Amino acid sequence: MNVNGSTSEAVLDQLRRRPAGSRRILFTGATVVTMDAGLGVLESTDLLVEGDTIAAVGHGLSAHDAVVVDAAGTILTPGFVDTHRHAWEAQLRRIMPDVDDLGGYVMTTLAGYATVYRPEDMYVGTRLAALTAIDSGITTMLDFSHNARTCEHSDAAVEALLDTGIRGVHASMGPHFGGWDRQWPGDLTRMKEQYFNSDDQLLTLRLAALATDEIAGPALAYGPELARVAQDLGVSVSVDAVFGTSGSEAVLRWAEDGILSPDVTLIHSTGLTSEAWKAMGHSGTTVALAPTSDAQIGLETAIPAVDEALTVGIRPGLSIDVEVALASDMFTQMRALHAIQRMRAVNAAYGTDRQPSRITTHDVLDFATLQGARTNGLAAVTGSLTPGKMADLLVIQAEDVNNMPLNDPIGTVVLGSDARNISAVLINGEPRKWNGRVLDVDLSALRSEVHASREHILNTPAA
């Protein structure tokens, strides 16, 4: 029975009547884009989910007492992985669609709107962002939550992730401007004990920081002190606003101090020197690109640094960044990066006998899935449809009017599909979107909460 068919609600009912831990779901007859180098793309293939785990991928699978989903005419892919989004801003999405420099964003949003956020506004914005992520096929989202004014603000952001069922990474940072309790980073110890005390849960914790002290002062800038905090807590680090000359100098200092590693993610990494990139590549530091943010807002060179990353052996993850100005979905990030890099490659070779070095649709899908998971420290958990990993997957309709006929599965996912084609999303084996709708959401109530929160923020003078 196709998940878009008339009986799909009955299938969902079957699934939900079975205990999640012992539930079996058998998808049959799909084109499976595994993003696993050893498995590749498999046509007319079955995929078995047992509980929260991908149990098997192959032809002619069977399982006792499984709920069978006829997935012919669909593509199964890993869920997308967002490596950096400021989720609390979601009720202000597209409020400044044509902002044209970092300063305009910082002064309007971080020095203005952010200062009047209450804990309930943190909850509403983060929940809205996470639900939107699920709707567009993002099953893992790193929330760079840099408005932790009080313990209650942080708790509200974490509770919002919990309530949506997304695989969430809460990256906590104190605010840039305005009054706050100065509880960060000390409060991370309490948060870890309260919310992140298990290694097999949906949520993980990170420390978030800025690259330099230029915008918000030294307390929020990554360096040996914050590196020690993260090490003592046993958490990884995400560093935002890694730009230009000052960002390059910071990277080289971190390399000298020995605080670059695969447990550190540098966000944007736009306009960095070749020396900085060499230090990043040598240390195995991960990179989160924000393709539309760099290009649309105009951050440093305005060119997403994919070529620089690949040159030193770093395969980056992708991210959404700020919804106040940018698109919310991973399809846009993949297409923007694919087009920009290929345009630059051809332009650089134009008029010469050199062959352009172009990335492919497989590359950008890899960045949006497996490399995003690696960047978030979750490569062993998600990012590919590998047996043994958690069942974070998408069912994409390949025979919808904008996708038919299916010729190249990866090309169809990257260049043809959007949120309307995602008929089902599973996270940790649990259906979170089914028959084209996000589950367990009262849209009317959500709309009222979002509008009320926005009105409070817009009508309260900055603190």
Average pLDDT, the chain: 96
pLDDT tens-digit map of 425-446: 999 999 999 999 999 999 999 9
CA distances from 388 to 10, 330, 351, 414 (A): 28, 25, 50, 26
CA distances from 108 to 141, 163, 179, 461 (A): 25, 29, 16, 12
Residue 460 lies in a domain: no
Cα–Cα distance, 452 to 463 (Å, whole number): 19
pLDDT tens-digit map of 124-159: 999 999 999 999 999 999 999 999 999 999 999 999
Q: Which of 353, 375, 397 delimits the end of a domain?
A: 375
pLDDT at 3: 43
Cα–Cα distance, 210 to 237 (Å, whole number): 10
Q: What mean pLDDT comes out for the span 22-29?
A: 95
Cα–Cα distance, 195 to 239 (Å, whole number): 22
Question: Could you tell me which residues come within 8 angstroms of residue 367 by beta carbon, excluding any fewer than 6 positions away?
Answer: 289, 306, 315, 316, 317, 318, 334, 337
Residue type (1 letter), 33? V
Say whether both 140 and 207 belong to one domain: yes
The answer, yes or no, to whether residue 4 has pLDDT greater than 60, is no
Share of the chain above pLDDT 90, in %: 94
Say whether both 222 and 194 belong to one domain: yes
List beta partners, residue 410.
Answer: none
Say whether both 31 and 161 belong to one domain: no
Residue type (1 letter), 444? S
Model confidence at 77, pLDDT cuts 50, 70, 90, reads: very high
Say whether both 110 and 56 belong to one domain: no
Residue 78 tokens, joined: 């890993």
CATH number, position 67? 2.30.40.10
Residue 196 lies in a domain: yes
Cα–Cα distance, 346 to 58 (Å, whole number): 39
The answer, yes or no, to whether residue 413 has pLDDT greater than 60, is yes
Model confidence at 463, pLDDT cuts 50, 70, 90, reads: confident
Q: Which of 340, 375, 410 delimits the end of a domain?
A: 375
Residue 2 lies in a domain: no
pLDDT tens-digit map of 372-404: 999 999 999 999 999 999 999 999 999 999 999
Prior bond of 224 cis (ω within 30°): no
Cα–Cα distance, 463 to 448 (Å, whole number): 25
Q: How far from the centroid of its chain's Cα atoms is residue 196's Cα?
A: 19
How many CA within 13 A on the CB side of residue 325?
22
Residue 157 tokens, joined: 């952001």
Residue 89 lies in a domain: yes
pLDDT tens-digit map of 202-228: 999 999 999 999 888 899 999 999 999
CATH number, position 164? 3.20.20.140
Q: Which of 375, 399, 416 delimits the end of a domain?
A: 375
Q: Has this prediction a pTM greater than 0.75?
A: yes
The answer, yes or no, to whether residue 6 has pLDDT greater than 90, is no
pLDDT at 423: 96
Residue 450 lies in a domain: no
Residue 293 lies in a domain: yes
Say whether both 369 and 391 belong to one domain: no
Say whether both 100 and 38 belong to one domain: no
pLDDT tens-digit map of 255-301: 999 999 999 999 999 999 999 999 999 999 999 999 999 999 999 99
pLDDT at 299: 95
SS3 labels along the chain:
CCCCCCCHHHHHHHHHCCCHHHCEEEEEEEEEECCCCCCCEEEEEEEEEECCEEEEEECCCCCCCCEEEECCCEEEEECEEEEEECHHHHHHCCCCCCCCCHHHHHHHHHCCHHHHCCHHHHHHHHHHHHHHHHHCCEEEEEEEECCCCCHHHHHHHHHHHHHHCCEEEEEECCCCCCCCCCCCCCCHHHHHHHHCCCCCCCCEEEEEEECCCCCCCHHHECCHHHHHHHHHHCCEEEEEEEEHHHHHHHHHHHHHHCCCCCCEEEEEEECCCHHHHHHHHHHCCEEEECHHHHHHHHCCCCCCCHHHHHHCCCCCEECCECCCCCCCCHHHHHHHHHHHHHHHHHHHHCCCCCCCCCCCHHHHHHHHCHHHHHHCCCCCCCCCCCCCCECCEEEEECCCCCCCCCCCHHHHHHHHCCHHHEEEEEECCEEEEECCEECCCCHHHHHHHHHHHHHHHHHCCCC
Prior bond of 405 cis (ω within 30°): yes
Say whether both 172 and 182 belong to one domain: yes
Query: Number of folded domains in the chain?
Result: 2
Say whether both 198 and 223 belong to one domain: yes
Residue 86 lies in a domain: yes
pLDDT at 284: 97
Say whether both 295 and 311 belong to one domain: yes
Domain that holds residue 12: 8-79+380-438
Say whether both 223 and 99 belong to one domain: yes
The answer, yes or no, to whether residue 5 has pLDDT greater than 90, is no
Say whether both 145 and 216 belong to one domain: yes
Residue 462 lies in a domain: no
pLDDT tens-digit map of 309-349: 999 999 999 999 999 999 999 999 999 999 999 999 999 99
Say whether both 195 and 63 belong to one domain: no
